[in-house]
Amino acid sequence: MMRYLILLISTLCISLLLANLMLFHFTVICSDPVGGSLMANETSTYNPTEESWIFAFLAIGRIIGALPTVIMINKYGLKMTVTLFGILSGLSTLLMPLIFRSFHWMLFGIGSTTVFAAEGTIPLTWGTSKEQGMFVSLLSCSYEIGPIMANGASGFFCTSSVGWPGVYYVFGTLSIVSFLVFGIIYSNNPRSNRFSQNKSSEAVYSVTQPDEPRKMESTVPYMSILSSVSVWGVWINALGDSIAYQMFIMYAPTYINKVLGFEVVETGILAALPFVLTIGAKSLGGFFLDRCACLPQHVRIVTLTSAAQGAMTVGFFLLTLLSSEDRILAQAIFIVTIVFSGLHCVGLFTASQTISQQHNHVSTSIIAVISSIVSLVFPVVVGLLAPNNSAHEWAVIFYYMIGALLVTNVVFVLVTTVKPADWTNKEVANQRSSIQ
């Protein structure tokens, strides 16, 4: 049972990290950095340029934090790294209403950099061989739970007497408490977990490690990872995924409110709804990857990943044909597109985990950098192409996104072989229990 408690608290912690990043993406439509809060129908004092700079500093923080994350995991293990970065995120969230400075936004980004590494490491450490797809799918539900929490709570506080700062105080406190709990109950090695019975912890360990104990490399095979064609296939596919996901995360509230014309409270509900549906879709995706033994592992993972990205592409194309006059239909298509984005995430992270094995934290850290670069560039593109947030301007953005999704999907299918890479099976000199 301990591994399920680990899964639960890990999902909560990752969800809070993502929610902390998303709070500004919603409160930007109702916040006043000087006066505290605005009424539902008032206009934010942030102009598009200021919003883009804030988004940029968040991304810069995530890029800066990527390398220290890998180094700290290698040296101190996932437990200490995630706990420290999570508390940093919580403190940054608490201080957000009080400190509007560039360095503070960078701290926000730095605090979130362990998300991808945690998702890449925890399933291999704590999931059995028949549960790793389920672990990946449920951990990746953080990408839906975070937006649900952030959008729902932000919509409430934006229209309440407390005002928008209240949501930052609540989420900052929850983050600090949750990561302290994570630091207490999580262990980098199931055998050494003080809350597990020896029998159950050895059962988990036996399926996440080879039958004969094998020592791990004291140094990560970076050159082998960087020269792996399959790993590059995953990273290129992650580029397309990041472009779509950043649109949903950064601009879903803006698109629903400004382009489709829904009110602020409606925006909070409609921005959260697709992420609720995606949780169910991800659960089905994890079940398919774990249980569909009639298909080879490579076929299962590539089919799920490429089909989901193809469906996203179709969804964005349909959105280019619609305007605010078709806002109900457009919202329905937008919801379905987000659901397929979540399903794609399950396939992508499972592919990375299968190929990179014990070195997956390196692969997922690169995915984090890719996502951060996209989140750095995307606001600039939106600021240039959609300064007025009109339906026509967003259609142009969607056309560029469609092209990127098509290219990255084709490359992934052509070059990626989903099986453990040769460099994951090397005999090495030293074992690090901090990376399982």
User: Is residue 36 a contact partner of residue 163, using CB atoms and an 8 Å limit?
Assistant: yes
Angle between helices 114-126 and 48-76 (to 10 degrees): 40
User: Is residue 133 a contact partner of residue 350, using CB atoms and an 8 Å limit?
Assistant: yes
Burial class (CB in 10 A: 0-12, 13-18, 19+), 80: middle
Tokens describing residue 157? 């506080």
Mean pLDDT of the chain: 78
CATH H-level superfamily of 2-208+224-422? MFS general substrate transporter like domains (1.20.1250.20)
The residue-averaged pLDDT of 53-68 equals: 78
CA–CA separation, 347 and 353 (whole Å): 10
What percent of the chain has pLDDT above 90? 14
C-beta contacts of 93-99 below 8 A and 24+ residues apart: 93/20, 93/23, 93/168, 93/171, 93/172, 93/175, 94/168, 94/169, 94/172, 94/173, 94/176, 95/172, 96/23, 96/24, 96/165, 96/168, 96/172, 97/36, 97/164, 97/165, 97/168, 97/169
User: Is residue 23 a contact partner of residue 167, using CB atoms and an 8 Å limit?
Assistant: yes
Contacts of 319 (CB under 8 A, 6+ apart): 330, 333, 334, 337, 394, 395, 398
Burial class (CB in 10 A: 0-12, 13-18, 19+), 355: buried
Q: Has residue 66 got a pLDDT over 70?
A: yes
CA–CA separation, 89 and 18 (whole Å): 10
SS3 299: helix
The residue-averaged pLDDT of 21-44 equals: 56
Tokens describing residue 119? 């998702």
DSSP secondary structure of 412-431: HHHH---S--GGGS---S--
Lowest mean pLDDT among 81-90, 121-130, 338-347: 121-130
User: What was the pLDDT predicted at 413?
Assistant: 93
Confidence (pTM): 0.72
Please report, as a single letter, which amino acid is at residue 289: L
Q: Has residue 52 got a pLDDT over 70?
A: no
Residue 99 CB neighbours (<10 A): 12
Lowest mean pLDDT among 9-18, 102-111, 114-123, 195-204: 195-204
Q: What is the pLDDT of residues 246-299, one digit of tens each?
A: 887 777 777 777 777 776 556 666 666 777 788 888 878 877 777 777 778 888
Q: Has residue 148 got a pLDDT over 70?
A: yes
Burial class (CB in 10 A: 0-12, 13-18, 19+), 303: middle
Q: What is the pLDDT of residues 266-281, one digit of tens each?
A: 666 666 677 778 888 8
* Helix, strand, coil percent content, the chain, rounded in steps of 5: 75, 0, 25
User: What was the pLDDT predicted at 353?
Assistant: 86
Where is pLDDT greater, at 389 or 340?
Answer: 340
User: What was the pLDDT predicted at 237?
Assistant: 94
Task: Write down the number of H helices and E strands in the chain.
Answer: 16, 0
